[in-house]
Structure 1
Amino acid sequence: MGVISIRLQPEVESSLEAMAGKLHRSKNWLINEAIREYVARQELEQARWKETLGAIESVAQGKAVAGESVHAWLRSWGKPDELPPPGVAQ
């Protein structure tokens, strides 16, 4: 496990100290938890951005499902003549 030194603003440090006391956790635990959550959020954001770029590329290549086809399919849900999912228009 690595050791990193950080400087906290006084108001952040006092809030961290108070929260650690309320939760009966160490400041170290809270800092690790906050960083773990931040890193997970950033990784998710990067994955979503990559998916977005892939979707944009698909549309640029003409690989898209027509909106009306999707709406018609959704309107048919639960009905005896339910439509199959629409395919990619080419």
Structure 2
Amino acid sequence: MSVTTVRLQTEVEEQLEAIAGRLHRSKGWVINQALSEYFVKQNLEQERWQQTLDAMESAAQGQVVDASEVHDWLGSWGTDQELDAPGPKSGYQK
């Protein structure tokens, strides 16, 4: 395990000490937990951003699904005539 020095604002240090005391854990443990959760969140945000870029590229190439088909599909959920999910149409004109 490595050691990293961080300068904390007074308010942050006070909150860190309070949380560590309340949890009966060390400040290092709380910091490690917080950073681990932050990394997970950042990775999810990066993944979502990449999905957004991919979707924008697909739309720019005309790979889109007609909104009325999506509404019909959603409206069929839970019925005896549930429809298959609509897919993009090739050659869709903007």
Shorter-chain TM-score above 0.5: yes
Give the C-alpha shift of residue 27 in structure 1. Answer: 0.2
Give the C-alpha shift of residue 12 in structure 1. Answer: 1.2
Following superposition, which runs of at least 4 residues in structure 1 exceed 6 angstroms of deviation?
A: none
* Corresponding residue number in structure 1 for 2:40: 40
**Counterpart of 1:70 in structure 2: which amino acid?**
V
1:18 aligns with 2:18: yes
Query: How many angstroms apart in 1 are the aligned matches of 2:78 and 2:19?
Result: 50
Q: Structure 1 vs Structure 2: percent identity of aligned residues?
A: 56
* Corresponding residue number in structure 1 for 2:87: 87
CA deviation digits over 1:48-85, x for unaligned, max 9?
Answer: 00010000000011111111101011112232332222
Give the C-alpha shift of residue 6 in structure 1. Answer: 0.4
Give the C-alpha shift of residue 45 in structure 1. Answer: 0.4
Aligned length: 90
Segments of structure 1 that go 5 or more residues without pairing to the other structure are none
TM-score under structure 1 length normalisation? 0.92
Segments of structure 2 that go 5 or more residues without pairing to the other structure are none
Give the C-alpha shift of residue 33 in structure 1. Answer: 0.7
Query: How many angstroms apart in 1 are the aligned matches of 2:80 and 2:18?
Result: 60
Query: How many angstroms apart in 2 are the aligned matches of 1:7 and 1:84?
Result: 56
Query: How many angstroms apart in 2 are the aligned matches of 1:2 and 1:48?
Result: 31
Inter-CA distance 87–25: structure 2 relative to 1 (3 Å threshold): same
Query: How many angstroms apart in 2 are the aligned matches of 1:78 and 1:16?
Result: 49
